[in-house]
């Protein structure tokens, strides 16, 4: 199947290592086209296979999350052979931009925790849970994007890794507000996860200790 979007015209909004994102016109409405780009250093067949798998995986995981009631852009179309996903355009800043600009974001973090809880309770782990992958068109509805690394699992290790990533993202970009924002996140998360939260937090601590140990060893070696 040849994609009708191959000759699309759009404004590039992000050029990442793996994908390019364009703002396009889709049958009269604004839409985002995410295209995984071929990697010249990979064998052609293998490269096509990887792009096809990742594209269909990302769409499948977005859909699972959406079915669970998590705000995720609607999928308009997908062409795995071209590595293309066309989805709803969510206008607005990322949560990262909002936090850096000192907006009042506590209540948004609580909602983020709430929705991450929904994902985890439904055995969906996002896999790249950072404030850059959350778009905030209105304060009551943070949208999650970038499900390329998401997984279907209920394992505590994977769930803990998700929460740990959020904590790390806060520590690296929003250092002065870590405590306030992580606590807000946990308030929302607890609403959904209830008594499971303590086990998740224990896991997060364990992952942190492991990380520190690895960093110390690296420092000794170099």
Ligand X SMILES: Nc1ncnc2c1ncn2[C@@H]1O[C@H](COP(=O)(O)OP(=O)(O)O)[C@@H](O)[C@H]1O
Catalytic annotation, residues: 128
Closest distance to Mg ion from the beta carbon of 195 (Å): 32
Q: How many CB atoms lie within 10 A of CB 154?
A: 12
Piece of 49-57, 98-106, 112-120, 131-139 that binds ligand X (CB under 6 A): 131-139
Pick from 132, 156, 178, 201 the residue near ligand X by CB under 6 A: 132
Q: How many CA atoms lie within 13 A of 138 on its CB side?
A: 3
DSSP H helices, the chain, are 44-67, 95-100, 106-121, 156-173, 178-193, 196-221
In terms of CB distance, is 86 or 192 closer to ligand X?
86
Question: Segment 94-123, which members bind ligand X (CB under 6 A)?
Answer: 94
DSSP state letter for 195: T
Q: What is the CA radius of gyration of the chain?
A: 18
Q: Indicate which of ligand X, Mg ion, none lies near residue 204 (CB less than 5 to 8 Å, by partner kind).
A: none
CA–CA distance, 96 with 14 (Å, rounded to integer): 15
Q: Name the site residues for ligand X (rule: CB under 6 A).
A: 13-14, 16, 18-19, 21, 32, 34, 73, 87-90, 94, 132-133, 135, 145-146, 148
């Amino acid at each position: 199947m040849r994609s009708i979007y191959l000759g699309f015209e759009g404004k590039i909004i992000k050029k990442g290592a793996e994908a390019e994102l364009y703002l396009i016109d889709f049958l009269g409405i604004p839409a985002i086209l995410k295209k995984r780009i071929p990697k010249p250093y990979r064998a052609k067949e293998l490269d096509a296979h990887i792009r096809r798998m990742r594209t269909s995986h990302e769409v499948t995981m977005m859909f699972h999350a959406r079915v669970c009631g998590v705000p995720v852009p609607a999928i308009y179309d997908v062409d795995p052979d071209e590595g293309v996903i066309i989805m709803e355009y969510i206008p607005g800043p990322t949560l990262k931009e909002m936090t850096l600009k000192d907006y009042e974001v506590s209540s948004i973090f609580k909602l983020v925790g709430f929705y991450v809880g929904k994902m985890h309770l439904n055995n969906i782990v996002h896999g790249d849970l950072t404030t850059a992958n959350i778009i905030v068109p209105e304060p009551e509805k943070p949208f999650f994007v970038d499900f390329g690394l998401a997984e279907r699992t209920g394992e505590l290790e994977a769930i803990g890794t998700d929460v740990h990533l959020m904590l790390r993202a806060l520590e690296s970009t929003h250092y002065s507000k870590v405590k306030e924002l992580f606590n807000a996140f946990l308030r929302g998360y607890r609403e959904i996860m209830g008594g499971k939260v303590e086990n998740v937090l224990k896991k997060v601590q364990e992952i942190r200790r492991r990380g520190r140990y690895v960093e110390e060893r690296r420092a000794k070696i170099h």
